[in-house]
Structure 1
Amino acid sequence: MTTPRAALLFAVVVVLWGINWPIMKVALEMVSPLTFVSLRLLSGLLSVMVIAYLLGDLRLPHRRDWPMVIVVGVLQMAGYLALVSMALQTVPAGRSAILGYTMSVWVAPMSVLILGETLGYLRALGVAAGLLGVLVMLSPWGFDWSTPGMVAGHLMLLLGALGWALAIVMVRARGQKGSPLALAPWQFLAGLICIVPLTLWFEGWQPVPWQHAGFIAILIYNGPITAGFGFWAMLTVTRYLPAVTTSVGALGVPAVGLVAASLSLGETITLNSLAGLGLIVLGVYLVATAGLREHRRRFSSPSD
């Protein structure tokens, strides 16, 4: 695949994932959050399993990979999606997209604490910019603290992002023998096994609007399209585009989500949202650039 085609594929995935934020909010008007997450994970599991099978990459994980399969399944799949879905009930979709995609900001300080990595001035600036962006997004000085569920919703989004970041750092620390595509179905399965009992405990057997064509379309969008195709596409893109491009470019997802929520749901794009998004993008860019420079220094041979 050529670089321009990889860039086009990347842009398609960013748009697909971005517009899913208002789509998820619409879905949560039809079904309870944990039930929706269970159905999403089941649909995603089947979709990714089919793709892995067609590409000859469907196999049991190596014994060494099982702990990280469970970590990713619980933190990134079940935990993140559950917290985001519950938060979307009270927090606007555009705002949720931005705060839910701050995991790249948290990875750097977690890597220092857990992996003993050096922060460095560029990473430190990036983390500071990202945290300032989160603060601007939350805007506690003008926040309506009396709105029911609003504070809890914002905390859920940040906690979900922290969980995703922790999963990234733990995988980086331990490494993986299997390919991301080969491990993906089992990660979805681990998430599903985790979330189904919680769904039954907290929500019971909630009615699912199977007769509603719009809800079926949403499930298809969240399964074969955003989970199946999206996962395969991102794996493909990372082979052809620089890490800085994919790290910063992924923040196009909340940007698209912000615009899509405004156009489809009538949500107001505030100055705080734009400023916060800009600072978070800057922070991720600085952190990714620092990582790229270290990678180049590590693998470049000294000149004689």
Structure 2
Amino acid sequence: MQTSATSTRIAAGAMAVVITAWAYGWVVMKQVTPYVGPFDFVALRFALATALLFGVMALRRESFKPPPLGLTLAVGVSQTTAFQGLAQWALASGGAGRVSVLAYTMPIWSVLLAWWLLHERPSARQWLGIGLAVAGLIFVIEPWQGLGSWQSALLAVTSGACWGLGTVLSKRMFELHRPSPLAFTAWQMLLGTLLLVLAAWLIPSPRIVWSGEMIYGLLYSAVLATSLAWTLWTFVVDRLSTTVASLSSLGVPIGAVLLAWALLHERPSTAERIGIVLIMLGLLVIGMASARRAPMPNPPT
């Protein structure tokens, strides 16, 4: 009993580290935007992170045999290429806190896409959560202010939808093939990163400025916010219930908003604050309702 309690406390501490690392990661991703194009940055970040994950697989002596490539590629495109590329692109013109909240609407899209692709009809509570989150989106985007901020908002919301699609596809992968979570993550990240490298090569962008802040941002994002945080997350999910882990991860956008306010001086407007509260309430309702069903895969790193 004491060993179990100790393990739970360690997992809770690891969860706090993961939330902090991912929340601060949004601030770091925003800080590098003056020095590097969005697709150049995510290509560099995930090339390094992928190499580190395969290194972890080697240390753990896991098989390097790839999971079924069709679904793995689909998840890599949606969760690595599209989500990461679009989120970083959104940060080029949008605030870190605002973009993180809009990107973290992925549970909405997971529920809706699971209804379409997996025929899992949303429950009444899930519909309530979706309604609250959509109302929050309207307040955050503030369409009555004109179209000036729509590009960043649209990119952020689309990135969340892409992650939601990847979540549904990941669920299908684990139902059908039950791959090793670490191997599946590494392979989908590798395939998605190859497409990020192609996008970085094809899309014109300013020359990279290798400043100290740029190097710090790259190392933090690749090593701490991706590789280390993902490894800790698998430890957390293994020792805490999926419900506790998933609902705790909602602390990431909240933390990102607070850190962006403190470090980047991004003060949310009254409408944005109302919207953030509504979105968080909606995601909380969706998370609690979804916990009554089969658990969905992990939130983004």
Cα distance, 1:293–1:184 mapped onto 2, change above 3 Å: closer
Q: Which runs of 5+ in 1 are unaligned?
A: 297-304
Matched ranges for 1:143-292 at <5 A: 143-145=145-147, 147=148, 150-175=149-174, 176-203=177-204, 207-210=207-210, 212-292=211-291
Residue 292 of structure 1 deviates from its aligned partner by: 2.7
Q: Which residue of 2 aligns with 1:50?
A: 55
Shift of 1:295: 5.3
1:295 and 1:166, CA in 2 relative to 1: closer, same or farther beyond 3 A? Answer: closer
1:38-83, Cα deviation, whole Å (9 max, x unpaired): 1011111112122222222251223xx2122211211110111111
What is the alpha-carbon distance in structure 2 between the residues aligned to residue 257 and residue 15 of structure 1? 9
Q: Does 1:78 align with 2:78?
A: no
Are the aligned partners of 1:248 and 1:281 in contact in 2 as well (CA < 8 Å)?
no
Write out aligned runs for 1:117-136 (5 A).
Answer: 117-136=120-139
Q: State which of 21, 25, 36 in structure 1 corresponds to 2:26.
A: 21
Code of the residue aligned with 1:61 in structure 2: it is: P
Check the 8 A contact 1:104/1:165 in 2, yes or no: yes
| SS in structure 1 at match of 2:291 | helix
1:69-106 deviations in Å (ceiling 9; x for gaps): 21121111011111111111111111011001110122
TM-score scaled by structure 1? 0.89
Q: Does 1:98 align with 2:101?
A: yes
Structure 2 residue aligned with 1:109: 112
Secondary structure of residue in 2 paired with 1:177: coil
Change (3 A) 1:209 1:127: same
| Percent of aligned positions that are identical | 26
Q: Look up the equivalent residue of 2:218 and give its one-letter code.
A: L
- Give the aligned partner of residue 301 of structure 1: none
Residue correspondences, number: 288
The root-mean-square deviation of aligned C-alpha atoms, in Å, is 1.9
The equivalent of 2:3 in structure 1 is none
CA distance in 1, matches of 2:198, 2:291: 42
8 Å CA contact 1:96, 1:157 repeated in 2: yes
CA distance in 2: counterparts of 1:249 and 1:130, whole angstroms: 18
The one-letter amino acid paired with 1:56 is R
TM-score under structure 2 length normalisation? 0.90
- Separation in 1 of the partners of 2:146 and 2:123? 37
Q: 2:14 maps to which residue? A: 9
Which segment is superposed worse, 11-20 or 127-136?
A: 127-136
Deviation, 1:6, is: 0.8
Greater Cα radius of gyration, structure 1 or 2: 1
Work out whether residues 11 and 239 of structure 2, in 8 Å CA contact, stay in contact via their aligned partners in 1. Answer: yes
1:162: Cα distance to partner? 0.5
Distance in 1 of aligned mates of 2:119 and 2:229: 33
1:30 partner SS: coil
